[in-house]
């Protein structure tokens, strides 16, 4: 009877030890699960911070999390070893073994709880960085949506003008070139960072809006190009007609004035005809480019034609202007002299303001201008006066006097 009672008593104590060990195992498992869950949540927070913040504080936080991860791995390993070392479901589990299991599992639980506390404190210290990162990330979605909307608007505008018969191949290529950028944008801030993602979204938005605006203007631009082509053709024809009238003007110049007054204009009629012919050829080329909707080529050709016609217009006008000016100075050279003399006197008065003797730097060129004017006027008394040289001399004298005046005023302003 005593032996049986003792066996039952000891068996009951073994059962109690096994129950304690099982309770320690459950508590350690709960602690392990809580630590693992907290680590997973914190890892998400760290990924958020890493995506949005490249500051030293954020990098330091990442290093701290990595160090915590090592400690978590260590205590988790101890816990797993303790679980694997003891089969608490064995029927013949001895009490001493159950006691050791309970002790190891309790130690493992305590370590898990301690590290969980470190993790919680680390997470609390991380909150300001996390708040800042979440604020930054909140900007990503709206920026991405604006970029996508701009791309859609550009694509819609492209379809609209194509429906009107405008190919717009250049703009289609530019829009297609944004495709890889959109792919990178869709990969998100977690892969590329918040700032880079927002900057990419802004670039896509800006480029897509520019394409949409230019595409929307294409029909108006085509109409404007058509108007400019018509206008330039009309202007070229008018210049051709005006060039034909240069020869009579040159004949009048040759008849009434010395050779020096018209020799530099001899090639104007022939050159004007060549230039107009070249401009008309470029206009035909521009018309072909217009039909093929090569807008950049059309614009370049139009600018080239416009510049050529401007130069031709100036050359053709020069002959008639020359005749008018020479006739005026031949009638009354004193008008030019008076203009020049007034400019010199005005400069002389300015040079003498506040002085009893003029500054030689100003007096010498002004005196030289007077002498130059008198020589030019005296040259008109010759048998075949060069009125054109006289006009050029008067212009040059006035320009020289103007430089003296500027120098005087500049010196007084800085003094």
Q: What three-state secondary structure class fits 31? A: helix
pLDDT at position 260: 84
Better-predicted residue by pLDDT, 236 or 65: 236
Lowest mean pLDDT among 81-95, 244-258, 311-325, 329-343: 81-95
pLDDT of residue 4: 41
User: Over the stretch 21-55, which tens digit does the pLDDT of each residue have?
Assistant: 778 888 888 988 998 998 898 888 887 777 766 67
Separation CA 363–CA 412 (nearest Å) = 16
- The pLDDT value recorded for residue 10 is 44
Burial of 302 (0-12, 13-18, 19+ CB in 10 A): buried
Token pair listed for 108: 């493992």
pLDDT of 384 over the 70 cut? yes
pLDDT tens across 190-240, in order?
Answer: 677 777 888 899 999 999 999 999 998 888 888 899 999 999 999 999 999
Which of the four pLDDT bands, split at 50, 70 and 90, describes residue 259?
confident
Q: What percentage of the chain carries pLDDT values higher than 70?
A: 92
pTM: 0.52
Checking if the pLDDT of 3 tops 60, the result is no
Residue range 151-199, pLDDT digits in tens: 999 999 999 988 888 888 888 999 999 989 888 888 877 677 777 888 8
CB atoms within 10 A of CB 196: 15
> Is the confidence at residue 7, as pLDDT, over 60?
no
Residue 370 has what pLDDT?
92
Digit-coded pLDDT (tens) for 68-119: 889 889 988 888 888 777 766 565 556 676 678 778 888 888 888 999 998 8
- Quote the pLDDT of residue 54: 67
- 202: Cβ contacts below 8 Å, ≥ 6 apart: 143, 147
**Is residue 409 predicted with pLDDT exceeding 60?**
yes
The secondary structure of 102-161 as a DSSP string is HHHHHHHHHHHHHHHHHHHHHHHHHHHHHHHHHHHHTTHHHHHHHHHHHHHHHHHHHHHH
Q: How far is CA 76 from the centre of its chain?
A: 53
Structure tokens at 75: 């205590």
Distance of CA 381 to the CA centre of its chain: 65
Q: Where are the domains of the chain?
A: 2-137, 140-216, 219-330, 334-414
**Average pLDDT in the 117-122 region?**
89
């Amino acid at each position: 009877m005593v032996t049986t009672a003792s066996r039952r008593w000891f068996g009951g104590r073994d059962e109690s030890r096994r129950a304690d060990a099982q309770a320690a195992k459950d508590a350690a498992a709960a602690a392990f699960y809580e630590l693992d869950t907290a680590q997973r949540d914190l890892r998400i927070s760290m990924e958020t911070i890493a995506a949005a913040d490249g500051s030293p504080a954020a990098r330091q936080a990442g290093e701290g999390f990595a160090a915590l991860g090592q400690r978590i791995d260590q205590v988790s390993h101890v816990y797993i070893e303790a679980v694997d070392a003891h089969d608490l479901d064995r029927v013949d589990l001895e009490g001493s073994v159950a006691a050791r299991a309970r002790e190891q599992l309790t130690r493992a639980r305590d370590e898990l709880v301690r590290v969980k506390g470190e993790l919680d404190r680390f997470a609390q210290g991380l909150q300001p960085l996390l708040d800042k990162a979440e604020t930054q990330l909140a900007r990503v979605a709206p920026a991405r949506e604006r970029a996508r909307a701009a791309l859609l608007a550009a694509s819609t505008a492209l379809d609209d003008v194509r429906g009107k018969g405008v190919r717009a191949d250049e703009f289609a290529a530019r829009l297609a070139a944004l495709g890889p950028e959109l792919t990178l944008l869709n990969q998100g801030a977690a892969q590329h960072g918040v700032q880079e993602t927002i900057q990419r979204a802004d670039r896509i938005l800006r480029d897509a809006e520019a394409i949409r605006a230019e595409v929307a203007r294409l029909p108006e631009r085509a109409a404007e190009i058509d108007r400019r082509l018509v206008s330039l053709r009309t202007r070229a024809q008018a210049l051709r007609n005006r060039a034909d009238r240069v020869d009579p003007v040159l004949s009048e110049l040759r008849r009434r004035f010395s050779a020096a007054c018209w020799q530099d204009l001899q090639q104007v009629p022939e050159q004007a005809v060549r230039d107009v012919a070249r401009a008309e050829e470029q206009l035909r080329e521009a018309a072909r480019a217009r039909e093929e909707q090569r807008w950049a080529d059309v614009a370049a050709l139009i600018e080239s034609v416009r510049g050529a016609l401007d130069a031709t217009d100036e050359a053709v006008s020069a002959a008639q202007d020359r005749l008018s000016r020479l006739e005026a100075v031949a009638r009354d050279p004193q008008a030019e002299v008076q203009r020049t003399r007034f400019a010199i006197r005005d400069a002389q008065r300015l040079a003498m303001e506040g002085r009893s003797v003029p500054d030689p730097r100003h007096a010498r060129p002004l005196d030289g201008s007077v002498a130059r004017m008198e020589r030019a006027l005296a040259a008109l008394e010759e048998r075949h006066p060069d009125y054109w040289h006289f006009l050029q001399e008067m212009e040059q004298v006035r320009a020289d006097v103007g430089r003296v005046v500027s120098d005087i005023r500049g010196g007084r302003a800085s003094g």
